[in-house]
Structure 1
Amino acid sequence: MHDKQCFLLYQGCFLVISFCMLWVFFPVGGSLDLALIHPWVSESGQFLLRDNWYLAELNHRYVKDLIILLYAIFFIIWLASFKVKKLRPLRWSYGYFFCMVILSTSMVGLLKSQSAHACPWNITIPTSQGFFWDFSASRGHCFPGGHASTGFALMAGYTVFRLSNKKRAYFFLVSGCILGFAMGWAQMMRGAHFLSHNLWTGWIIWMVNVVFYLVNYKRFTRNPASQE
């Protein structure tokens, strides 16, 4: 079977199966969401780690800025490839990588801007006996998770380098999964997102990368060695 057909078959199955699993087991604000976020919310419905420096500054600001700097470096190399002859072989792969980062994170941002799901810290209602979750809150602009998308966007490197450098491809894939999940989990601890928000973020970004990789597959096969 041709490589493109194999990729389409495996990734198509993965996307469909993972979509069904998320839909069934991780509905927004479902039992798993509430169980996993429970350790981080007080009996009065307050998220005590909301302003924690390590989560609010180190994770939400500095780690994000470092990853954005990496994306900026790819963009700078792409620009330099128009002037520096040695960088010309990298033009397509680095330009494509940067475009996929922008496209996938923008897709998450667009969906988030239209979302009716509010953030966990905005839907806890204190009572004399504790608190309850008010899921009637609408236009919360909190789904999917925007912060996690910065980390998950690294997965674009897998499709860029899968034909030319498998070690590098898997490095980007694993790094993107780890960073996206870790950044999203930290936001969950603060009360900014449910875990489902971030899992759906990862699914959306991977889906976008799979679709655009298949559309541009011929370009990647012309001279994969030039993508090193």
Structure 2
Amino acid sequence: MHDKQRFMLYQGCFLIISFCLLLVCFPVGGSLDLALIHPWVSSSGKFLLRDNWYLAELNHRYVKELIILVYASFLIIWLGSFKFEKLKPLRWNYGYFFFLVILSTSIIGLLKSHSAHACPWNITIPTTQGFFWDFSATQGHCFPGGHASTGFALMAGFFVFRRSDKKRAYFFLISGFILGFAMGWGQMMRGAHFLSHNLWTAWIIWLVNVSFYLLNYKRFGLSQITNTSAQTSQQQ
């Protein structure tokens, strides 16, 4: 079976199965969401870690800014490839990488801006005996997880390098998943998101990457040949 056909088969099965699992096991505000967020909410419905420095500043601000700098470096490499001959073989990979990062995070941002799901910290209603969850709020602009998307977007590197550099491809895949999940979990601890928000974010970003990779599959093959030729020329 051709690599593209095998890739389409595996990814199609994965996307369908993971979609069904998320739909059944992780509906927004479902039992698993409530159980996993329970340790971070007080008996009166307050999220005591909402303003915690490590979560509000280190995780939500500094880590995000650091990752954005990484993405900015991809843009710099792409721009530099038009001026420096040594960077020319990298033009397609890093240009595509940066484009997919911007595209996937923008799609998450667009969906989030039109979402009817509110953030957990906005839907806890105190009562005399504790609190209850009010899921009647509309236009809450809190689904999917925008912050987690910054980390998950790094997974685009898996598709960029899967045919030319397996180790680098899996580095970006694992790093993107760990960063996205950790950043999303920090937001969950603050009460900004349910875990489902972040898992659906990862699924959407993966879908975007699979779709665009298949559309550009031949181009990646040409890029690999170009890079190999360039490396051979430099060695000679």
- Normalising by the smaller structure, the TM-score range is over 0.9
Give the aligned partner of residue 158 of structure 2.
Answer: 158
Partner residue of 2:86? 86
Name the SS for the 1:143 alignment partner. coil
Match of 2:163, SS state, is coil
Aligned position for 2:72: 72
1:154 maps to amino acid: L
Q: What per-residue deviation string (whole Å, max 9, x for no partner) do you get for residues 35-79 of structure 1? A: 000000000000000000000000000000000000000000100
Q: Which amino acid aligns with 2:123?
A: I
Which amino acid letter does the alignment assign opposite residue 54 of structure 1? Y
Letter aligned with residue 137 of structure 1: A
In the alignment, the residues of structure 1 paired with residue 204 and residue 223 of structure 2 have an alpha-carbon distance, to the nearest angstrom, of: 29
Query: 1:165, CA displacement in angstroms?
Result: 0.1
Residue matched to 2:200: 200
Write out per-residue CA displacement over residues 157-196 of structure 1, whole angstroms, 9 at most, x where no aligned residue: 0000000000000000000000000000000000000000
Counterparts of 1:210 and 1:223, CA distance in 2: 18
Equivalence map 1:50-129=2 (5 Å): 50-129=50-129
Per-residue deviation, 1:224: 1.2
RMSD over aligned Cα, in angstroms?
0.9
- 3-state SS, counterpart of residue 192 of structure 2: coil
CA distance in 2, matches of 1:134, 1:72: 40
Match of residue 44 from structure 1: 44
* Distance in 1 separating the partners of 2:192 and 2:208: 24
1:86-119, Cα deviation, whole Å (9 max, x unpaired): 0000000000000000000001001001100000
Tell whether 2:133 aligns with 1:136. Answer: no
Q: Could you say which residue in structure 1 is the equivalent of 2:234?
A: none
Determine the structure 2 residue equivalent to 1:22.
22
User: Are 2:92 and 2:223, in contact at CA under 8 Å, matched by a contact in 1?
Assistant: no
2:60 is paired with a residue whose SS is helix
Distance 1:99 1:60 in 2: 23
Task: Describe the SS at the equivalent of 1:6.
Answer: helix
Secondary structure (helix, strand or coil) at the match of 1:132 reads strand
What secondary structure is seen at the aligned counterpart in 2 of 1:27?
coil
Q: What secondary structure does 1:131 align onto?
A: strand
Cα distance, 1:151 vs structure 2: 0.1
For the residues of structure 1 that align with 2:183 and 2:118, how far apart are their CA atoms? 19
Q: CA deviation at 1:222?
A: 1.3
Q: Does the Cα contact within 8 Å between 2:124 and 2:132 map onto a contact in 1?
A: yes
Matched AA of 2:196: S
Structure 1 counterpart SS, 2:131: strand
The number of residue pairs the alignment matches comes to 228
User: Deviation at 1:202?
Assistant: 0.2
2:40 touches 2:189 (CA, 8 Å); kept in 1? Answer: yes
Q: 1:223, CA displacement in angstroms?
A: 3.7
Unaligned runs of 5+ in 1: none
SS at match of 1:88: helix
